[in-house]
Amino acid sequence: MTPTDTAPAAVDAVVLTMNDRPEQATALQTLLAQEGLDLRVIVVGNGVQPEDIPAGITTLALPENVGIPEGRNIGARALADVDGGGEFVFFFDNDAHLPAPDTLARLVEAARRHPRAAWVQPRIADPKTGVTVRRWVPRLRTADPDRPGTVAAMAEGVLLVRRRAFDQVGGWPGHFFLYHEGFDLALRCWDAGLTGYYAPQVVVHHPASDPARHALYQRLVARNRVWVAYRRLPALLVPLYIATWVAITVLRARRAPRTLAPWFSGLWEGLRGGHGERRPISWHTAWRLTRAGRPPVI
């Protein structure tokens, strides 16, 4: 049945767990409290059996940790296998929480007001400070986190995606394991003629942290940037994109030079291969991204 603007949206929510976050109970409680939706929730245990899961939630235990993007793919497919899936898929970190029972319904409303948007992202804010950190603002200019509009990037941890678009472009790049899987997905959505939308009037709480302090973050970020470039950018833009990020990283590392060794290790790992099938975006898509404020060289 074709959904209408007045029909309750069918939303499939996918949550990953490793049973190591005390915030998970609150995350699931606020998710189950959402109103005005036909909501199904699955918790995927990434190498674990999900524990302390409330009634009414489907669980799926994976025998090993397959990483965040592939875990989310598996959860989304598991719900789709029942009846084709809902109109939307909501990817939700298990340390986030929804501050009001209409939060998700408001996000759906924003999606329905912007039918060309493959995904809609809320404003993610730290629950204690109300601050939206730079990496959560899905545009290059991050000074004003309250400015809505069309975007070409996303914060993957709290995201509403149209099921049809998600399936059309092939979901998350599962082998990325962690980081920049959203950039790859965004480029494929834009190349399919779609866009993304940032709806900062809808706020979701998530504790702020700094993943850049970890060497694993530096390595995977560098590797996956190269993989995205090889997979999705026109050949002429690949070296420009990589060179741009080498320069940016070196400049940023002046205050923390210890981050350069794992970053360049990841860069070399990416250059050696492993990126998967190459299907670059068209030059028309590159121009659309540039007009939208995200030229695909940065």
Q: What is the pLDDT of residues 74-93, one digit of tens each?
A: 999 999 998 889 999 999 99
3-state SS class at 15 = strand
Distance CA 105, CA 31 (A): 11
CATH number of 11-209: 3.90.550.10
3-state SS class at 17 = strand
pLDDT for 2 beyond 50: no
Q: What is the pLDDT of residues 193-222, one digit of tens each?
A: 999 999 999 999 999 987 766 899 999 999
Domain edges within the chain: 11-209, 212-291
Q: What is the pLDDT of residues 20-69, one digit of tens each?
A: 999 999 999 999 999 999 999 999 999 999 999 999 999 999 999 999 99
Q: What is the pLDDT of residues 53-62, one digit of tens each?
A: 999 999 999 9
Other C-beta atoms within 10 Å of 67: how many? 21
Contacts of 2 (CB under 8 A, 6+ apart): none
pTM: 0.95
pLDDT for 1 beyond 60: no
- Give the residue among 136, 140, 25, 38 at the shortest CA–CA distance from 85: 38
